[in-house]
Amino acid sequence: MSKPVKIFWRIFFGGFAFFILLLLMINWGWLGAMPDLDDIENPTASLASQVYAEDGTPMGKYYIEDRVNADYKDISKHVINALVATEDKRFYDHSGIDPRSLARAFFYLGGEGGASTISMQTAKNLFTNNWNTRNIFLRVLQKVKESIIAVKLERNFTKEEIATLYLNTVAYGDNVYGIRNASRTFFQKEPDRLSVEEAAVLVGMVNGPSLYNPRRNPKQALDRRNLVLNRMVSSNYLTEKEAARLKMTPITLNYKKLDENNGLGPYFRMVLGEDMKKWCKENKKSNGDSYNLYRDGLKIYTTINPRMQLYAEEAVAKHMSYMQKLFNSQENIKKGTVWKGFENVLESNIRQSDRWRNLKKEGMSDEDIRKTFDQKTPMHVFAWNNTRGKDTVMTPYDSIKYHRQMLQAGFMAMDPVSGAVKAWVGGIDFKTFKYDHANFNTRRQVGSTMKPLLYSLAIEEAGFTPNTIVYDEQQSFGGYGLVPATSRSCKGGSMPMANALAFSRNCASAYIMKQLDNTGNNGAKRFVDFLKKCDLKTKIEPYPSIALGSCEISLFEMMQAYSMFPGRGFNVKPMYITRIEDRNGNVLATFTPQRKEVISDVTAYSVIKMMQGVMTIGTGRGVWGYDMPGGVEVAGKTGTTNENSDGWFMGYTPQLLAGAWVGCDDRFVHFDAQSLNGQGGRAAMPIWAYFYGKSAADANCGLDTRLTFVKPESMTNDLIIDYVNGTTPILGGEGEDVGTGSSNDYEVPREIKPEDIAPPESQIKIEDPKNKPGNKPPVDPTKKPVNIPPAQPANKPQEQQQPKAVLPKRVGR
């Protein structure tokens, strides 16, 4: 053998040996990490955790990569056919590596297409972090690694499983991963319902998620879709006639992306997310690691009723847009004088703004940054219209004032027996205002909504009844001062306790507080002990003024405290998670109601009857001017704090408890003290009325308006309350300086404008969970029997039906 031939064979066998050694080194992980056999047999990708409403409706997700898996049986055959025809037409013939494609890529240097098969691309998506580089050596190394993993995948999975893995891991644009997410996002469909042309659009996107995104680049997406249809023809998945017809149709999207701003109940999901982070930190997987909310694909089933949630969001939007118009017409708001003396608050907001932080990072001095806030600039601000925003020109300083002058709201609704939260709205618009006003950590003065709690203590432990005579006089608590601070609202007469609650008499409430214990502030101490028994976690100082609601408590806690009335003496903590599952459907945790007896059912029933008086003759009578169902039994309480800083309404029926708060984040920004608009009956109660009216009219919400509050068996005779004729509410009946006024003072906004619309979240289509393939209906532990007998339908004579008040005509508006 000649010397050149020897050299050739040495080089050939040496190169072959080096190549084999290289393959072994790559396989053993010596040239970069490689997945072991267990990883390949159980491939995982970062999965979004999903939140479901009580009927299985998807509410939203927590994710880094927006990815949700689908099974092969849940993917349309059109998607599989389009994928194979476009990405790897010999997919069913090779074992992970396609020699013909490899030779073509080598010969044409990639100019006629690459050598990657679906198996290789799946390997890249799952195990190589989509590593891309322009370095030729590293790129070759990468391809070899993908090929090795692809062969191993082919050994461990069927072709159907590999195709499913690919479709679940590939990106589709807009930070959407996986065929199920893409189908839901771009077409609002489950992937098994995709048509041929829709499947072609999605498969066409995988080669260029941004370039072929039909939302951003419709022309390029259309051309790419038609190319996919042509390839389906060449692979005999479509006839030329069918393809020609489909190519003539435009791309019709039904785009809706569930992210932190969109989707059902964004405020609720934010609060839920914080709770889930704590749960994940405290609970471990089988390998000892803590769960990760953003990667582990948890399934979180909640108690939220999707229709009630939509009605709650609509009620808040409808009423708050109307109230904001009234508020903007107020003199000190129009002229900006409301900020006189509070400029320091604005300066603090300036330094907390994104604009300040960004300019600070760029190295600009504080003095120069501050000057930019007085320069007019184009910007987008919140507005009550279809898009919840508008483009305008104003100074950043003025924009801060503009947004701080927006009235905010918090609203919750729950089952008073199980504690299952049915609706949660934390503000007027989550995109602009992230602060939640319904959760435990947001506390505001509760005003007269505190009174039913005080009255229940007086009945439970001090021998009072609804007909006990109380005195409408200012009370002295020695060194703790006079309550109320002024006597202008005190009439000096006597009345049954039921009247004092119906007309929210501050002076009578102070009298009741003193009767609990007239030594110093011992009555207040006794009341604070009772509030602790109600499981209020907020620290409340025992000052006598708490009889008028001077303390700050969250809406969340007020819901728990009020649950003892429709709950027949049993207090229940609001709960909103029923169970948590892992990505495979294994149940990790279940949650049940936390209930305890606080007062007797006789006391609860007595307070209910008094609070019904609030709604029939007292400060809540205006509720009947809204679209409330006739004959429904409603008990409730309005609340207003000093200078109209806070407006409250807590109301309930035998089946449902709901509460609303309205006010500005800065307490000094409020309706004028003399205005009726800032009082609980106008500011907050209409939200409750709008919500209940729509929920009661929807059979899917399961509300029976014929149910009545059940009289305790120990009461042989029903409670008859002796309302004194001629006792009328007066200004000053709730807050120390202002009150709710009379029922005749209430007006109903009858001129709702087109911009008074539901929030964008309400455009979500709620499907019947029975029609969703592969969707397991959640088991709701709150449906378990409880020890409290349910309310029964009442056969009331017509004359005993709840009267609907005839309100006066609006004047001057």
Please give the pLDDT value at position 810. 32
- Residue in this structure with the two tokens 């006010």, named with its chain if needed: 663
Residue 104 DSSP symbol:
H
Which tokens is 65 given? 């990569």
Q: How far is 662 from 647, CA to CA, in rounded Å?
A: 5
| The pLDDT of residue 563 | 97
pLDDT at 726: 40
Confidence of residue 711 (pLDDT cuts 50, 70, 90): very high
Cα 91–chain centre separation = 44
Model pLDDT, residue 703: 95
Q: What residues contact 746, with CB distance under 8 A and at least 6 apart?
A: 621, 622, 625, 676, 681, 682, 807
- Here the tokens at position 706 are 């014929």
Measure the CA–CA gap between 607 and 336, rounded to whole angstroms.
44
- 408-414 and 647-652 strand pairing: unpaired
Contact 673, 644 (CB under 8 A): yes
Q: Can you read off the two tokens belonging to residue 577?
A: 């998670």
The distance from CA 659 to its chain's CA centroid, rounded to whole angstroms, is 16
Q: What pLDDT does residue 38 have?
A: 57
Indicate whether 189 pLDDT > 80: yes
pLDDT of residue 775: 44
User: Rounded CA gap, 112 and 442, in Å?
Assistant: 62
- For the chain, percent of residues with pLDDT exceeding 70: 81
CA-nearest of 724, 637, 253 to 448 is: 637
pLDDT band at 14 (very low <50, low <70, confident <90, very high): confident
How many CA atoms within 13 Å lie on the side-chain side of 346? 20
Which of the four pLDDT bands, split at 50, 70 and 90, describes residue 737?
A: very low
pLDDT band at 129 (very low <50, low <70, confident <90, very high): low
For the chain, the distance separating the N- and C-terminal CA atoms, rounded to the nearest angstrom, is 111
- pLDDT higher at 312 or 110: 312
Write out the two tokens for 75: 């993917």
- Predicted confidence (pLDDT) per residue in 477-521, tens digit: 988 889 998 887 788 889 999 999 999 999 999 999 999 998 888
In this prediction, residue 36 carries a pLDDT of: 58
Residue 339 has pLDDT above 60, yes or no: yes
Query: Is the pLDDT higher at 784 or at 573?
Result: 573
Q: 463-477: string of b/e by CB count within 10 Å (b at 16+)?
A: ebbbbbebbbbbbeb
pLDDT band at residue 723 using 50, 70 and 90 as cut-offs = confident
Yes or no: say if 578 and 673 are a contact pair by the CB < 8 Å rule: no
Phi-psi map region of 419: left, alpha, beta (phi>0 left; psi -120 to 50 alpha): left
Beta strands in 426-568 (DSSP E): 443-445, 469-471, 475-476, 482-483, 494-496, 552-554
Q: Count how many Cα atoms sit within 13 Å of the Cα of residue 136 in the half-sphere of its side chain.
A: 2
* Whole-angstrom distance, CA of residue 98 vs CA of residue 119: 10
Of all residues in the chain, what percent carry a pLDDT higher than 90? Answer: 62
- 813 pLDDT band, cuts 50/70/90, is very low
- Residue 37, pLDDT score: 53
State the pLDDT confidence band at 718, using cuts at 50, 70 and 90: confident
| pLDDT value for 758 | 52
Q: With 90 as the cut, is the pLDDT of residue 681 above it?
A: yes
pLDDT at 104: 58
pLDDT value at residue 103: 61
Which amino acid, one-letter code, is at 498? A
Give the phi and the psi of residue 223 in degrees, each rounded to 5.
Answer: -65, -40
**Res 116 pLDDT > 90:** no
pTM of the complete model: 0.79
Nearest to 598 by CA among 630, 561, 555: 561
Average pLDDT (328-351) is 94
What is the per-residue pLDDT for 138? 58
Cis amide leading into 759 (omega within 30): no
User: Quick one: which H or E segment has residue 391?
Assistant: strand 390-394
pLDDT of residue 127: 64
pLDDT, one tens digit per residue, over 400-435 is 999 999 999 999 999 999 999 999 999 999 999 999
Q: How many helices (H) and strands (E) does the chain have?
A: 26, 22
Q: Considering only residues 93 and 300, tell me which one the structure prediction assigns the higher pLDDT.
A: 300
**pLDDT-wise least confident of 2-11, 203-212, 278-287, 666-675:** 2-11
pLDDT in tens, 204-234: 999 889 999 999 999 999 999 999 999 999 9
66-70 mean pLDDT: 82
- Residue 551 has a CB neighbour count (10 Å cut-off) of 22
Kindly tell me if the per-residue pLDDT of 751 is higher than 70: no
Alpha-carbon span 361 to 691, nearest angstrom: 46
Quote the tokens at residue 420. Answer: 């299952």
Question: 577 or 207: which carries more pLDDT confidence?
Answer: 577
Residue type, 186: F
Band (268; pLDDT cuts 50, 70, 90): very high
Q: Report the 10 Å Cβ neighbour count for 345.
A: 17
pLDDT digits (tens, 9 = 90+) for 453-474: 999 999 999 999 999 999 999 9
The segment with the largest mean pLDDT, out of 66-75, 113-122, 338-347, 762-771, is 338-347
Strand residue runs (E) in 178-326: 299-302
- Is residue 20 predicted with pLDDT exceeding 80? no
Written as six digits, the tokens of 456 are 């229940």
| pLDDT(528) > 50 | yes
**297 pLDDT more than 50:** yes
Residues 426 and 438 sit within 8 Å (Cβ to Cβ): yes
Higher-confidence residue: 763 or 437?
437
